[in-house]
A and B are shown apart, each in its own frame.
Chain A
Amino acid sequence: MSSTGRGVTSPLCFSSDPNSAPCPALNKYGGAREVHSDRLCNGKDFLRNSTFGFEKFERLSWSQIITNTTITVTDEPDTLFQKVSVLVKGHDRSVLDSYEFFATMAAKELGITLGNVFEPPKDVLRLTLLKSIHIFKKHRVQYEMRTHYRCLELFRLTGSTAQVYLEYIQRNLPEGVAMEVSKIAVAKVPEHILQPMWEEPTADNAPSPTADLKG
């Protein structure tokens, strides 16, 4: 499969949250980095391990941030994805409903082919504990934790499209919602296995390895 697209990487630096209260100077959380997340959740550990550091907490103005963002254009071919599957998990079904509406609208605006958007069945974790601290075995109390899911499937994307779309989706992920992204990439078949071995003419006089098999 020939891939003619050029790879475009646009490392964006994380500016302050657009939904937050307006402040006079914008905070810069860290340096520029590319998003290569296959699994992102709204916890701290994912971003803690990356180049973000509290030491880089500076105050920058808008013009400084705009000059810092560089869009690099390279000649290496862009990765092609057959399918990008986004699974969103949350405790609240209505939050996932609204997030699905937002994500599907964003995909339509960007012209990304959307596959089926479905809701896998929920998972419930139930704990049955004793109600009293001492005796009364017959009286128990039950707690449960429900995890609702929503799955979005996107087909035939380029790497840069996927990067931009996922970054947009992830920046607007609501609190208490986790996301798992799985990508299926399409790669070119390596040249040495394009032709079967027994059809290749052997240059040297050494017996071909398939002679014993055929004979």
Chain B
Amino acid sequence: MIDRCGVSPSPFLSQRSLVKSGTVWNNLGARGLHVTAVQCKNHAARIRVGKGDRGVTYEQALHPHHIGHRKGWLSQHPCNLKGEEGAADRALEDVFIRRFMFGTFHGCLANEVVIKRRGNLLIVCALMLQKLPPQKFYFLTGYTESLLSHFYKCPVKLEIQTLQKQAVYKYL
């Protein structure tokens, strides 16, 4: 029994059944044996170490198993707790809000958007780069707040902090 390998099955018959049946067949359709450890590696939300020229934020540098220990949560609502409902609706809203923010403030987002829910209130916190003049930021903030509050029928507040440069945690 070969462990940790990916054996592509032959399109006609497997190796074992050939031996059992005793027929003399050439494995014309059999493909090669791949013995790799590649499929055991985790790829989720990880940036692999590279040459050292790519700046990476704190959020990107820490892997998902650090959530709760060294990392916080990007979306805070009580629906994932035991005995609470509505998790799927909140997840859908979060996805839409993140895409909306990414599109409205195109190229300005420095880090992931943090979404908090306090009662009826939806608070969207974002870190921005100073790529636009402040008047445009104010307009886009008001536009986002009114549009999202009309979509979700709840008060939406946007909390924006701007930075001059990208906040780099380390270079990978």
A47, B80: Cβ atoms closer than 8 Å: no
A178, B117: Cβ atoms closer than 8 Å: no
Chain B residues positioned under 8 Å from A178 (CB to CB): 78, 81, 83-84
A42, B77: Cβ atoms closer than 8 Å: yes
Most chain-B Cβ atoms within 10 A of its Cβ — which of A43, A136, A141?
A: A43
Chain B residues positioned under 8 Å from A48 (CB to CB): 120, 153-154
Chain A residues positioned under 8 Å from B86 (CB to CB): 43-45
Chain B residues positioned under 8 Å from A211 (CB to CB): none
Interface of A with B (CB < 8 Å)?
17, 20-21, 27, 29, 41-45, 47-48, 52, 54, 57, 89-92, 123, 125, 131-132, 135-136, 138-139, 141, 145-147, 171, 173-178, 180
Can you add 8 more A-B contacts, CB < 8 Å, to A42-B119, A48-B154?
A: A41-B79, A42-B78, A44-B86, A44-B152, A47-B119, A91-B68, A92-B73, A145-B80
Chain A residues positioned under 8 Å from B82 (CB to CB): 89, 123, 125, 145, 147
Closest A residue, CB atoms, query B120 = A47
Asked if A17 meets B40 with Cβ closer than 8 Å, knowing A43-B86, A91-B80, A175-B77, the reply is no
Say which residue of A29, A43, A138 sits within 8 Å of B78 (CB atoms).
A43
Q: How many A-B residue pairs have CB under 8 A?
A: 99
Chain A residues positioned under 8 Å from B157 (CB to CB): 17, 20-21
B117, A175: Cβ atoms closer than 8 Å: yes
Asked if A44 meets B6 with Cβ closer than 8 Å, knowing A27-B155, A89-B78, the reply is no
A41, B84: Cβ atoms closer than 8 Å: yes
A176, B77: Cβ atoms closer than 8 Å: yes
Chain A residues positioned under 8 Å from B153 (CB to CB): 48, 54
CA distance A57 to B150 in the complex (A): 11
A147, B81: Cβ atoms closer than 8 Å: yes
Say which residue of B68, B85, B123 sits within 8 Å of A92 (CB atoms).
B68
Closest B residue, CB atoms, query A180 = B83
Pick the 3 closest A-B CB pairs, nearest first.
Answer: A176-B76, A178-B78, A175-B116
Q: Is B121 at the interface (CB under 8 A from chain A)? A: yes
Say which residue of B42, B79, B116, B123 sits within 8 Å of A43 (CB atoms).
B79
**Cβ of B53 to closest chain A Cβ, rounded Å:** 31
B80, A175: Cβ atoms closer than 8 Å: no
Q: Tell me the chain B residues, 22-52 only, with Cβ under 8 Å from chain A.
A: 39-40, 42, 44
A-B contact pairs, 29 of them (CB 8 A): A17-B121, A20-B121, A20-B123, A41-B78, A42-B117, A43-B78, A43-B117, A44-B117, A47-B119, A48-B120, A52-B120, A54-B153, A57-B155, A89-B82, A89-B83, A89-B84, A90-B81, A91-B68, A91-B73, A91-B80, A92-B68, A123-B82, A135-B6, A136-B6, A145-B81, A171-B119, A175-B77, A175-B118, A176-B73
Q: Mark B102-139, 1 if CB is under 8 A from A, else 0.
A: 00000000000000111111010000000000000000
Chain B residues positioned under 8 Å from A43 (CB to CB): 77-79, 84-86, 90, 117
CA distance A45 to B76 in the complex (A): 16
Closest B residue, CB atoms, query A52 = B120
Most chain-A Cβ atoms within 10 A of its Cβ — which of B6, B78, B123?
A: B78
B155, A173: Cβ atoms closer than 8 Å: no
Most chain-B Cβ atoms within 10 A of its Cβ — which of A17, A92, A138, A173?
A: A17
CA distance A168 to B149 in the complex (A): 26
CA distance A201 to B159 in the complex (A): 75
B39, A131: Cβ atoms closer than 8 Å: yes
Chain B residues positioned under 8 Å from A27 (CB to CB): 155
Q: Mark B54-72, 1 if CB is under 8 A from A, else 0.
A: 0000000000000010000
CA distance A135 to B157 in the complex (A): 45
